[in-house]
A = this chain, B = another copy of it.
Amino acid sequence: MTNFRSDNESPAAPEIIDALIEANSDSAHAYGADRFTVALDNQFSELFETECRVFPLATGTAANSLGLAQVTPPHGSVLCHTQAHIHVDECGAPEFFSSGAKLIPIDGDHGRIDLSAFEQTLAMYGFKGDHEPKISTLSITQATECGSVYHLAQLQQLCGLARQRGMVVHMDGARLANAVASLNCSPADMTWRAGVDVLSFGATKNGTIGAEALIFFDPAMAEGFGKRRMKGGHLLSKMRYCSAQLAAIIKDDLWLNLARSANAGASRIAEALAAHPAASVVHPVDINEVFAVMDQALADKLLAAGFEFHRWPFENDMYRFVVPWNIEDQALRNFEATVTE
């Protein structure tokens, strides 16, 4: 069986297991006073070429929701893509943590917020006084839910417009590594230099057993966040085990190497499918996800050959393949052979 269902289903990389074992060698101060956690601010500041404040967290939803709540008042709003995870896959967690901020969806092809749709949405606000929420925050998902990425100029435009309106910019980077690897840019260029203030840095899908971080590029914005995290039940007592994973994943480009491997696998899957007369690829394959329409016969053949993948709901004959970091060449060869045979 080869699992293309979700990168959430992949195991952890050996380097991560090693890091856990190392972190387990002795006792260590709790609640983030351990040496692994203490070092993170510097390590990520170096990675992002600017002073960061880093808060390890157990889930991406926690990072998104706590981060959004930190920068959005209850009477505010978060603008995001219609298909953003925060809008359609988190059971209203951002609304809960922000005590009722409104999520305002904006359309756009391939999971990317369309700049003119964003402008139109902004133009709709400002006429209803206290009846409408404050336009507070823009949340951008990079890479997107469709497996595409925003290019740097697109990010700069969106963030620039948001900042003109006094908005704060959040980036949901559940697959940040895949996006950085895809764009082959510096993490700084894709985040704060483009205008991002707060980043959900995801590592769970990318080879850890579970490690996320919320990163503030403006330390002043993190004021009080530690208590907010505690209040959300998200202060890990043995934080070192989360922090050690974060340290290990960004060490020696591991995060990018794992992401590159996954991305490359998706390219091969996309090529194989695109070449088949009964299949077509729906979105740009910028990272490790392929969305494809195919006929039942082809889908059945792939399933019969032991490939697991999701039929996408509410879309005719659409399927999603997500390639994990640990994909092997042989599995991809088998996939290619099965498609073309």
Binding site for B on A (CB under 8 A): 3, 5-6, 8-12, 17, 20-21, 24-31, 57-66, 73-75, 77, 88-93, 95-102, 124, 127-134, 204-205, 209-210, 224, 226-238, 241-242, 313-314, 324
A61 proximity list for chain B (CB < 8 A): 230, 233, 235
Q: A11-B25, A232-B232 are in contact. Are A95 and B90 (CB under 8 A)?
A: no
* Contact indicator A27/B12 (Cβ below 8 Å): no
Interface SS of A by simple majority: loop
A134 interface neighbour in B12, B17, B224, B237, Cβ under 8 Å: B224
A209 interface neighbour in B10, B66, B235, B238, Cβ under 8 Å: B238
* Contact indicator B210/A59 (Cβ below 8 Å): no
Closest to A202 in B: B237
A9 proximity list for chain B (CB < 8 A): 27-30, 238
Q: What's the nearest-Cβ distance from chain B to residue A320, in Å?
A: 13
* Contact indicator A8/B314 (Cβ below 8 Å): no
A17 proximity list for chain B (CB < 8 A): 20-21, 24
* Contact indicator A233/B93 (Cβ below 8 Å): yes
A30 interface neighbour in B8, B12, B226, B231, Cβ under 8 Å: B8
21 contacts between A and B (CB under 8 A): A9-B28, A17-B20, A17-B24, A20-B209, A31-B129, A59-B234, A62-B234, A74-B228, A89-B128, A90-B231, A91-B133, A91-B227, A91-B231, A92-B102, A93-B233, A100-B100, A124-B314, A130-B229, A130-B230, A134-B227, A205-B237
A95 proximity list for chain B (CB < 8 A): 95, 100-102
